[in-house]
Amino acid sequence: MSLEWNLIFILFSSATLAVSFFKDRKKTRKALAVSGRSFLNMAPFFVAVFVLIGILEVFVPSSAIAALMGVNRGFIAVLFAAVAGGIMAGPPPASYPMADYLVKHNASLAAAATFIIAWVAVSTVSLPVEIRMMGSRFAWIRWSLTIVLSVIIGVILGWFM
Amino acid sequence: MKLKNWLEQNWMIVVISMVFVVLAVLDTRQTGRALIIGGTTFLSIAGVLVSVYIFIGLFSVWVKEDQVMRHFGEDSGWKGMFYGAILGTVFHGPAVSIFPLLKSLKDKGARMAIIVVIVSAFAIKIPVIPLELSLFGWKFTLIHNGLLFVTALPLGLVMERLLRSRNEQKER
């Protein structure tokens, strides 16, 4: 399953790259430079996340995840996911393998969605920067509304799935 | 101060490294197993991750931010918000990277709702969709991103309201 997806997307992105290269070589070279730089910048986070997944897998019993974010925990699971995702810091793509780990250990899909949204959008660690640039009122309103939003979307997604 | 900022942004790396070292000393064999599991998990999505970063690069050269930014201003209504939502989805990287741009928009007098729409649509990550599809499937991806897109506009309006009511009180 996973292998197929890898193949599909490698083919798809290579094709897109080829089209881009055909249209504008210079731009495409620049694009690849951006890709490489972004990946290298984020590499430490990826190493950390995959090490974390390994550590959780070996040292934390599956039942602990189920107890916090399990399917039968309902709304509580979503709240835990919002808090867990909200304190995480790292590139958005790293949130998906982490959420996948949670789902594999019986976390609900609602919790997984909330976790991803909270990780990407709530970003508690960048609050100081945000306060400096946008003002504290803006930052705090955005922060709290985003947490609420992540919970709401998680719950709705849970109904649909 | 610089170190403090660095620690704030990278605390996860620091904490995970420390936990890893402690565990490696206490139980080398199990920690080795953890590393292998982490490595295998990485390899199982490595191809998708490579394409995610290829898309991030392509987006950065083919979708120009200033093309979109032209449409913003105090008077731009639904259209401006729509472009805001698009701009937000195209962004990548952690949230810190978006605040300088928001500040410049605010200083130029863009409507607050548009700024908030950009931040909320920021949770949608078009280049990352391959990763989401391969791990969670079509249905999850569609509902998750669809809901984010639909709620970005109302969230922008609510937040504009909240910010404005406070300013009016101040003026009285």
Q: Are the beta carbons of A70 and A112 closer than 8 angstroms? A: no
Query: Which of B113 and A72 is assigned the larger pLDDT?
Result: A72
Q: Which of B30, B41, B162 sits opposite A50 (nearest CB)?
A: B41
- Domain co-membership, A13 together with A66: no
Q: In the numeric block, which tokens belong to residue A39?
A: 């990946």
Digit-coded pLDDT (tens) for A5-63: 888 899 999 999 999 999 999 999 999 998 999 889 888 888 999 999 999 999 999 89
Query: Per the domain annotation, does A5 fall within a domain?
Result: yes
- Domain co-membership, A150 together with A110: yes
- Domain co-membership, B83 together with B161: yes
Domain hosting residue A129, numbered range: 60-160
Q: How many structural domains comprise chain B?
A: 2
Q: In the numeric block, which tokens belong to residue A24?
A: 């504008």
Residue B49 CA to residue B60 CA, distance in Å, equals 17
Query: Per the domain annotation, does A52 fall within a domain?
Result: no
The ranges of chain B with pLDDT < 50 are 171-172
CB contact A60 to B (< 8 Å): no
- Domain co-membership, A64 together with A136: yes
Using the beta-carbon criterion (under 8 Å), do B94 and A44 form an inter-chain contact? Answer: no
- Domain co-membership, B67 together with B22: no
- Domain co-membership, A64 together with A34: no
ipTM score over 0.95, yes or no:
no
- State how far residue B66 is from chain A, nearest Cα, in angstroms: 17
Query: Per the domain annotation, does A50 fall within a domain?
Result: no
Query: What letter does residue A135 receive in the DSSP assignment?
Result: -
Best interface-test mutation with A: which of B11, B21, B49, B111 has the largest number of A CBs within 10 A?
A: B49
Q: Are the beta carbons of B57 and A34 closer than 8 angstroms? A: yes
Domain hosting residue B21, numbered range: 1-47
Q: Is B66 exposed, middle or buried (0-12, 13-18, 19+ CB in 10 A)?
A: exposed
Restricting to A residues 87-146, those with a Cβ less than 8 Å away from any Cβ of B are: 88-93, 96-97, 99-101, 103, 109, 112-113, 116-117, 120-121, 123, 125-126, 128-130, 133-134, 137-138, 141-142, 145-146
Query: Per the domain annotation, does B54 fall within a domain?
Result: no
- Domain co-membership, B90 together with B153: yes
- Domain co-membership, B40 together with B106: no
Q: How many CB atoms lie within 10 A of CB B162?
A: 16
Query: Per the domain annotation, does A54 fall within a domain?
Result: no
Q: How many structural domains comprise chain A?
A: 2
- State how far residue B81 is from chain A, nearest Cα, in angstroms: 17
Q: In the numeric block, which tokens belong to residue B21?
A: 């070292």
Query: Per the domain annotation, does B53 fall within a domain?
Result: no
Query: Per the domain annotation, does B71 fall within a domain?
Result: yes
Query: Which of A32 and A161 is assigned the larger pLDDT?
Result: A32
Residue B109 CA to residue A68 CA, distance in Å, equals 44
Digit-coded pLDDT (tens) for B128-171: 899 999 999 999 999 999 999 888 888 888 888 888 765 555 54
For position A159, what pLDDT does the model report?
Answer: 92
- Domain co-membership, A35 together with A83: no
- Domain co-membership, B72 together with B152: yes
- Domain co-membership, A13 together with A75: no
Query: Per the domain annotation, does B52 fall within a domain?
Result: no
Residue B46 CA to residue B33 CA, distance in Å, equals 20
